[in-house]
Chain A
Amino acid sequence: MDVQGLQMTQTTPVPGVFKRNPPIAGEAEAIEASKNGYAEAFSKLYALHKRRVYTLCLRMLGNVSEAEDMTQEAFLHLFRKIGSFRGESAFSTWLHRLTVNLVLMHLRKKGLNLVSLEETINPSEEEAPKRDFGSRDLQLTGSVDRVALERAVASLPPGYRMVFVLHDVEGFEHNEIATMLDCSTGNSKSQLHKARLKLRELLRRPELATQQDGLKEVAV
């Protein structure tokens, strides 16, 4: 796999993400042992992080099969590169970034990443969020059901979903997303806003979410 495009060197830790990734008991030992080639230690790292990596892949890709493939790729890549982890950020943050970069590279290879972003700049009429404020009698009640939101996110168009997951779920900043997606920060802000508007619409009219493809594969 070409890894030149991946930013695997240690970067400045992202405070928001770092805070959400506290150290895990036994993880440091497993990392050091994995660096020395101990397979059991690598197995432990897999057990500790498989759910987070897989969930991230699933949310970004919206497809179980691709998400499992990318989870496998992420851990194979981890195996190759774990020696370069220097502990300057939380391991889970580092692994997280590695996974995001791999998924984005995968999408680029499929020609989907920027295409889908462009598509969502000018989405089809059906996919675009409504531009009106909406009548207040249909407004959300100030709280959003987690399961309903999960379902709505799964049915977002890919470009919207990508920016929403990276910013609102994963905690990346707009400038980081802009770098990762090779777009402007303004574009990232705009896409995020459109994604939230679309989610609002989907949450107010859940029957729209159930019509989307992808739902079956990530339905809870």
Chain B
Amino acid sequence: MTETKLPDFDTMTPADFEQYLPEIFANGDGRVSNDPRLQTFLKNNPDCAALVRDLEAIADQARSLFEPTYEPSDAVWTGIQNKLKHADPEDDELALPQTV
């Protein structure tokens, strides 16, 4: 898909806005609500502004999910050790050193 041509922000309708929103989000720094070209439109279309605010809040909080939350069970490490111990000697890539 080629770059999408964005509509005229001064004359676009809410439907236009909805259609082009994925591109508008992707083209900027993710802060659509701060885009000076959109301030008038968002002020005149509070539902669109609310949508933008919600999507930005979701994207913001998503970054916090980067930090690991979950821990694998001990069975995972046991499985890794077993696989390494019982690796086919012909499989050079899994040929394991002395101490496992």
Contact = CB atoms under 8 A, between A and B. Distances in A.
B59 interface: yes
Interface residues of A, number: 59
A134 B65 contact: no
Interface string A51-78: 1101110110000000110011001100
Interface stretch (A23-31, A108-116, A120-128, A188-196): A188-196
B99 interface: yes
What is the interface of chain B mostly: helix, strand, loop, or mixed?
helix
Given A133-B50, A189-B23, A71 B72 contact: yes
Given A51-B68, A55-B68, A196-B59, A72 B26 contact: no
Contacts of B83: 72, 76
A199 interface: yes
Interface residues on B, range: 35 or more
A190 B25 CA distance: 10
Contacts of A170: 66
A55 B1 contact: no
Given A142-B57, A189-B22, A200-B54, A68 B73 contact: yes
Interface in A140-178: 140, 142-146, 149-150, 153, 164, 168-171, 174
Contacts of A42: 100
A76 B84 CA distance: 8
A13 interface: no
A58 B93 CA distance: 27
Interface string B33-59: 000000000000011101101110111
B25 A193 contact: yes
A139 interface: yes
B97 A39 contact: yes
Given A38-B99, A196-B59, A184 B22 contact: no
B57 A169 contact: no
A37 B84 CA distance: 12
